[in-house]
Amino acid sequence: MKNVLMHKVDFKTKAGKVLMWIVLIFFLFYTLMPMVWLVISSLKTNTELMGSPFSLPSKLRFENYANAFKVSGLGILFLNSIIVSLGATFLNIMIASMASFVLSRFEFRFREAIFSLLVIGILVPINSLMVPYVKIINKLGIYDTRFALILVYSAISIPISTFIIRGFMKTIPVELEEAGTIDGCNFYQRFFKIIFPLSRTGIVTAATLQFLYCWNEFIYSMLLTSSQSVRTIQVGIRYFSNQFTTDYTSMYAAIVISIIPSLIGYITFQEQIISGLTSGAVKG
C-alpha cells in the first residue's frame, strides 16, 4: 500500500513538472515567435513578404538594414534616442536618489506623508498628464527640443525610481553614516561617498527601467517634437512607415535595430533588475 501511494505521489510530481514545462514552452514560443518572424521578414524582399509572409527568404537581404539608415535617416533618430534616454536617466536617478536619501535617512515631520504622496504618482496614468506637460513645455519655450523630452521623461519616472532606491537606502546601517560624520564628512560627502555607492543595486535597477522606458516611449516624443532632427527612433519608425508604405522590409529592419539597445540593456543588468525588484523595492 505504501509503495502504491509513493508511486501515485511520484506520478503526480512528474505530471506537474511536465505540465509546467509545457506551459513554459508555450509562453516562450508565444513571446519569441513575433520577434523571430520580424527578423526573418526584415531579410526578405517586399515581394517575398507579400507573397508568403511565413516562409524563409530565398536569399538573406542584409541591404535592408543599410536602406533603413539611408532612406529614413535612422542614424540621427538613433542618436537622438541615445541622448534623450541617457540624459533623462541621469537626471532622474540624481533627483530620485537625493530625494530617497532625505526620505530614508532623516527623521522629520510628515516624512511618510510626503513619501506616500510621491509614490501615488506611480498609480497616475501617464497619458492623463499629456495636456499639462505640453502646456508647461510650450510655456518654457523648449518645444521641439531634446531637453523637453529629457525633462518630461525624467519627471514621469521619479515616483517609481524613488520607491526603489529608498528601499535600498533604508537597509544601509546608520552606523556607517555616523562613522563618516565622525571622520568629518558633511551632508554631501555622506551622500556621494557612503550612501550612494552602497545603494548601487537599487540605483542600477531604477536606471535600467528608466532607460528602457525612455527608449521605447512614443506618445510624448510624438507630442513634444515636430522636426526630424530631434525625433526619437520610435517616432521616426512611424513616419518611416507612413512615407514609405511599400518598403515594409526596410521598416522591419529599422524596428529590429531599435530593439537591440533594449535587449542589450536588459541582458546586461538582468540580475540587478530582478534582485532590485524582489528585495530593495519591498523593504521599508
Whether residues 136 and 90 fall in one domain: yes
Residue 219 has pLDDT above 80, yes or no: yes
Closest of 249, 18, 211 to residue 203, by C-alpha: 211
Measured in degrees and rounded to the nearest 5, phi and psi for residue 60 equal: -75, 120
The answer to whether position 193 is within a domain reads: yes
Query: Can you give the pLDDT at residue 242?
Result: 55
Q: Quick one: how far is CA 39 from the chain centroid? A: 22
Torsion region of 163: left, alpha or beta (phi above 0 gives left; psi -120 to 50 gives alpha)? alpha
The answer to whether position 53 is within a domain reads: no
Distance in angstroms (rounded) separating the CA atoms of residues 282 and 170: 11
Helix (H), strand (E), coil (C) string for 175-192: HHHHHHHHCCCCHHHHHH
Please report which confidence band the pLDDT of residue 254 belongs to, taking 50, 70 and 90 as the band edges.
confident
Please report which confidence band the pLDDT of residue 97 belongs to, taking 50, 70 and 90 as the band edges.
very high
Query: Can you give the pLDDT at residue 163?
Result: 92
Query: How large is the average pLDDT for residues 16-42?
Result: 87
Angstrom CA distances, 241 to 25, 70, 256, stand at 33, 14, 14
Report yes or no: 192 and 93 within 8 Å, Cβ to Cβ.
Answer: no
Whether residues 110 and 202 fall in one domain: yes
pLDDT by residue (tens digit) across 168-208? Answer: 888 888 888 888 888 888 888 888 888 998 888 889 889 98
Within 8 A by CB and 6+ apart from 252, the residues are 38, 41, 42, 64
Whether residues 30 and 79 fall in one domain: no
Whether residues 9 and 99 fall in one domain: no
Query: How large is the average pLDDT for residues 26-52?
Result: 87
Please report which confidence band the pLDDT of residue 10 belongs to, taking 50, 70 and 90 as the band edges.
low
Which pTM was predicted?
A: 0.81
Distance in angstroms (rounded) separating the CA atoms of residues 4 and 12: 12
The answer to whether position 68 is within a domain reads: yes
Residue 216 has pLDDT above 60, yes or no: yes
Whether residues 114 and 21 fall in one domain: no
Cell numbers 536569399: residue: 59
The answer to whether position 167 is within a domain reads: yes
DSSP assignment of 11-42, as one string?
HHHHHHHHHHHHHHHHHHHHHHHHHHHHHHHT
Please report which confidence band the pLDDT of residue 279 belongs to, taking 50, 70 and 90 as the band edges.
low
Whether residues 18 and 78 fall in one domain: no
Whether residues 71 and 190 fall in one domain: yes
The answer to whether position 124 is within a domain reads: yes
Whether residues 92 and 26 fall in one domain: no
The answer to whether position 52 is within a domain reads: no
Distance in angstroms (rounded) separating the CA atoms of residues 95 and 158: 8
The answer to whether position 134 is within a domain reads: yes
pLDDT by residue (tens digit) across 113-160? Answer: 999 998 898 888 888 889 999 999 999 999 999 999 999 999 999 999
Whether residues 91 and 28 fall in one domain: no
Query: Can you give the pLDDT at residue 284?
Result: 43
Query: For 59-73, 76-90, 189-203, which range has the lowest pLDDT when averaged over its residues?
Result: 59-73
Mean pLDDT of the chain: 84
Whether residues 190 and 136 fall in one domain: yes
The CATH number that applies at residue 72 is 1.10.3720.10
Query: How large is the average pLDDT for residues 107-111?
Result: 87
Query: Can you give the pLDDT at residue 28?
Result: 86
Whether residues 16 and 112 fall in one domain: no
Distance in angstroms (rounded) separating the CA atoms of residues 258 and 247: 17
Query: Can you give the pLDDT at residue 153?
Result: 95
Percent of the residues in the chain that have a pLDDT greater than 90, as a whole number: 27
- Structural domain containing residue 23: 2-41
Whether residues 144 and 9 fall in one domain: no
Neighbours of 149 (CB within 10 A): 29
Query: For 92-96, 108-112, 266-270, 279-283, which range has the lowest pLDDT when averaged over its residues?
Result: 279-283
Domain count, the chain: 2
